[in-house]
């Protein structure tokens, strides 16, 4: 008999720990109107970077680590940049240019954009980045939990955004990771005539503050909106998508409603994590050779 380890990957089991923050003690944490985060406060936060000749890798969008091999982000980040070899993911990062011993860098093997996404708009603004090789978790690198498809997003949830985007409209991006607590608004509120005037579909939602004091901005795109739920874990429920300016009253940022896309996302993740027949045969050959040697 062959060892079961050849057929199962313990790093990708569905019961993996998620939504925890080993590097910080507090359960919650207090971007436009936000604050600089503590190192390790959002261990699933990813910097997705594109290589530019003469400049090296430049931060373009945020992302969310879902498991050892998968990063969630926004489809619009990939417009004109869909070739995986141009990208890398940096995880366990606080300052964009100061990598620590626990910081992990991975090239991108594949990018999957939602089949209904169209570059002229923001509907179905979701994409999955497959890493070139597995990530080993540490106190500063952890996956966020994924929501159930039936999860209803309400204004009383304790929710947070994070990213390296602009601190104000037409400002400069932040070098250190920013964080802010935000409020999720109902779709009826978002679509009021003096708010987003009926332009937000039920596959998205708006969140921030009515006064515009807290918002995400350019550079935060693709990053996570997470909520601290009753099981004391953080769940990614939204993907930073777009906004009308940054921090404008009654124009809170728009986020992809992740529970609406869980069937598609689970399908992409199962494809990502499937061990091929060729891989199994290769492992069997290696195992047989090892047995002969010993």
- pLDDT, tens digit, for every residue of 254-290? 999 999 999 999 999 987 554 444 555 565 666 666 5
Kindly tell me if the per-residue pLDDT of 197 is higher than 60: yes
Residue 194 confidence class, pLDDT cut points 50, 70, 90 = confident
Among 239, 218, 223, 224, residue whose Cα is nearest residue 173: 218
pTM of the model as a whole: 0.82
d(CA 92, CA 41): 10
| Coil, helix or strand at residue 205 | strand
Q: Which among 15, 41, 46, 109 is positioned nearest to 239, based on CA atoms?
A: 46
User: In this predicted structure, what is the pLDDT of residue 287?
Assistant: 63
> 99 and 90 in contact (C-beta within 8 Å)?
yes
Burial class (CB in 10 A: 0-12, 13-18, 19+), 197: exposed
Q: Mean pLDDT, the chain, as a whole number?
A: 83
Q: Hey, how many other C-beta atoms are within 10 angstroms of the C-beta on 195?
A: 20
Q: Is 94 a catalytic residue?
A: no
SS3 108: strand
Residues of the chain above pLDDT 70, percent? 75
> What was the pLDDT predicted at 88?
98
Catalytic entry in 29, 37, 73, 76? 76
DSSP state of 121: S
Provide the token pair at 101.
């011993």
CA 197, chain centre distance (Å) = 28
Q: What is the pLDDT of residue 278?
A: 54
Who wins on pLDDT, 195 or 43?
Answer: 43
Give the single-character DSSP code of 85: G
76 annotated active-site:
yes
Domains assigned to the chain = 43-143+264-270 (2.40.10.10), 158-257 (2.40.10.10)
Predicted pLDDT at 120: 75
Answer yes or no: is pLDDT of 207 > 80: yes
- Those residues whose C-beta lies under 8 Å from the C-beta of residue 223, and which sit 6 or more positions away, are 45, 61, 62, 63, 64, 73, 161, 162, 163, 165, 216, 239, 240
The pLDDT value recorded for residue 284 is: 66
Predicted local confidence at residue 58, as pLDDT:
94
Q: What is the pLDDT of residues 127-155, one digit of tens each?
A: 999 999 999 999 999 999 999 999 999 99
- The one catalytic residue among 124, 125, 215, 220: 125
Question: Which of 253, 84, 51, 265 is CA-nearest to residue 163?
Answer: 253
pLDDT for 83-103, tens place per residue?
999 999 999 999 999 999 999
Q: Is 125 an annotated catalytic residue?
A: yes
Whole-number pLDDT of residue 10: 35
Measure the CA–CA gap between 194 and 206, rounded to whole angstroms: 14
pLDDT of residue 196: 83
Q: Which pLDDT does position 121 carry in this prediction?
A: 75
Q: What is the pLDDT of residues 2-53, one digit of tens each?
A: 333 333 333 333 347 999 999 986 544 435 556 889 999 999 999 999 999 8
Give residue 59's pLDDT: 95
Q: Tokens representing 116?
A: 């209904």
Q: What is the structure's pLDDT at 28?
A: 43
Q: Is the pLDDT of residue 106 over 80?
A: yes
pLDDT of residue 14: 39
What is the predicted pLDDT for the residue at 1? Answer: 39
Please give the Cα distance from 95 to 58 (Å, whole number). 13
The more confidently predicted of residues 175 and 33 is 175
Candidates 176, 178, 197, 177; CA nearest to 188 is 197
Phi, psi of 188 (to 5 degrees): -65, -40
């Amino acid at each position: 008999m062959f060892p079961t380890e050849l057929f199962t990957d313990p790093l990708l089991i569905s019961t993996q720990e998620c939504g925890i923050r080993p590097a910080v003690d507090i359960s919650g944490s207090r971007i436009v109107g936000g604050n600089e985060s503590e190192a390790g406060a959002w261990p699933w936060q990813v910097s997705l970077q594109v290589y530019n000749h003469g400049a090296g890798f430049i931060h373009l969008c945020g992302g969310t680590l879902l498991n050892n091999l998968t990063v969630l982000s926004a489809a619009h980040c990939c417009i004109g940049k869909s070739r995986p070899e141009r990208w890398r993911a940096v995880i366990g990062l606080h300052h964009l240019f100061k990598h620590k011993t626990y910081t992990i860098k991975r090239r991108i093997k594949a990018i999957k954009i939602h089949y209904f996404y169209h570059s002229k708009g923001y509907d179905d603004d979701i994409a999955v980045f497959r890493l070139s090789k597995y990530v080993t978790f540490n106190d500063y690198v952890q996956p966020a939990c994924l929501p159930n498809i039936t999860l209803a997003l309400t204004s009383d949830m304790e929710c947070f955004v994070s990213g390296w985007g602009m601190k104000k409209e037409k400002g400069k991006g932040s070098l250190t990771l920013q964080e802010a607590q935000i409020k999720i608004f109902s779709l009826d509120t978002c679509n009021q005539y003096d708010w987003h005037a009926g332009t937000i579909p039920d596959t998205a939602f708006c969140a921030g503050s009515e006064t515009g004091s807290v918002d995400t901005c350019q550079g935060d795109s693709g990053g996570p909106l997470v909520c601290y739920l009753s099981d004391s874990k953080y769940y990614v429920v939204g993907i930073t998508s777009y906004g009308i300016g940054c921090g404008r009253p009654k124009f809170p940022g728009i986020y992809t409603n992740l529970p609406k896309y869980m069937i598609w996302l689970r399908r992409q993740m199962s494809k990502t994590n499937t061990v091929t027949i060729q891989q199994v045969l290769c492992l069997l050959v290696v195992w047989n050779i090892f047995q002969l040697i010993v």
